Amino acid sequence: MKNVAILSNYRDTLPFSEKEIFSFRELTRVAREQWVHLVRVSIYAFDPDAWVFTNYADFNDAGDMEIFYQTYKPEIVWNRSPSEGKLFAHEQIEKAGIHVFPSIRLTTIGSDKYEMYMYFQKYQPYSLLLKDFFFYPELREKCTDTVVLKPIRSHSGKWIVFLTQSELLAQREKYEWLEVLYIVQNFTDFSAGIPGLVDGIHDIRLMFLGREFIQATLRIPKTGSLKSNLGAGGTEKVFTQEQIPEGLWKMIPDVLDLLTPWERDFYSIDFGYVASEDRWYLFELNNSPGALISEETRENYTKQYYLRISEFMRDNFN
């Protein structure tokens, strides 16, 4: 078996929900069926002198996730840490002779929303740093009346706020000295749905390994919310490549040319359709695509996402 660890960056306890544990259990099962011994590790348990992790998290004989206080050195680390110390972790692990994916370049773009905008501004809603929104009226004029305030390093839809320009300007003092930590993005209205596919607010997530298409999911917010992230209570449906709208699929080669992914980069990109403009927008690159599943999506995920990533880890970095 190939020893692989997911970098999760827990500390002395495992801060995982029941849904996360359920998903981890299925991913672990699929991986081990493909001869990949998959566990979780934390950069906080990495010994830079011995080049090993001093503990790891795995399922015990009772089927519960537990921290095992034994040294562990995997052959590969899948960096799924949401934000903290990405470059430090990547470099430390590589120095230990352990392979790491995705690339630090993809990780950097995916964990910085302004960096992301600079790469994908051709397809993203107009965005600017909060400091520029406050200080340059001529740039504010390019913004819609309703805007979206996003922390540059947020994930899973956390800490995102929808408000008008005047409301944001009135809160200027609240964000004093924090202006470089947020972006302001034009609000785009996805509420008309996608003809023939879905009514109402939505987004489509496409997963890739390098330039290879892996899986498509339709994500729908819970009632009363504008956020489709599963972490924010959204729901998800898996569908086939053939069901991906033609207008969106035609964009993909150009989007991937802008990204120029490494062949071992595993990531997802989220898109939304604005009916009034007949236009698709790209609004998020995820360097660690969500792996949460439900009973409804379990079969599709285990046969697509979980299976393909397990095969990839088994067959590469030899």
- DSSP result, 69-136: -S-B--SEEEE---STTHHHHHHHHHHTT-EEES-HHHHHHHT-HHHHHHHHTTTSPPEEEHHHHHH-
Element spanning 280, H or E: strand 279-286
Residue 268 — pLDDT band, cuts 50, 70, 90?
very high
Tokens of 53: 């992790």
β-partners of residue 152 are none
What length is written for the chain?
Answer: 318
Residues 276-280, mean pLDDT to the nearest whole number: 93
Asked whether the predicted pLDDT for residue 228 surpasses 70, the reply is no
Amino acid letter, residue 155: H
Higher pLDDT, 299 or 219: 299
Interior angle at CA 164, CA 159 and CA 165, nearest 5: 105
Asked whether the predicted pLDDT for residue 232 surpasses 60, the reply is no
Nearest one of 302, 277, 278, 280 to 291, comparing CA atoms? 302
Residues 6 or more apart whose Cβ sits within 8 Å of residue 61: none
User: What pairing do the DSSP bridges indicate for beta strands 266-274 and 279-286?
Assistant: antiparallel
Cβ proximity of 57 and 66 under 8 Å? yes
- Measuring CA to CA, how many Å separate 186 from each of 62, 163, 164, 168? 49, 11, 10, 13
User: What is the predicted pLDDT for the residue at 191?
Assistant: 85
Asked whether the predicted pLDDT for residue 236 surpasses 90, the reply is no
Q: How many CA atoms lie within 13 A of 112 on its CB side?
A: 16
Asked whether the predicted pLDDT for residue 150 surpasses 70, the reply is yes
Per residue in 51-84, pLDDT (tens digit) is: 999 999 999 999 999 999 999 999 999 998 766 6
| CA dihedral of residues 309, 287, 21, 15 (deg, nearest 10) | 150
Average pLDDT, the chain: 91
Per residue in 132-148, pLDDT (tens digit) is: 999 999 999 999 999 99
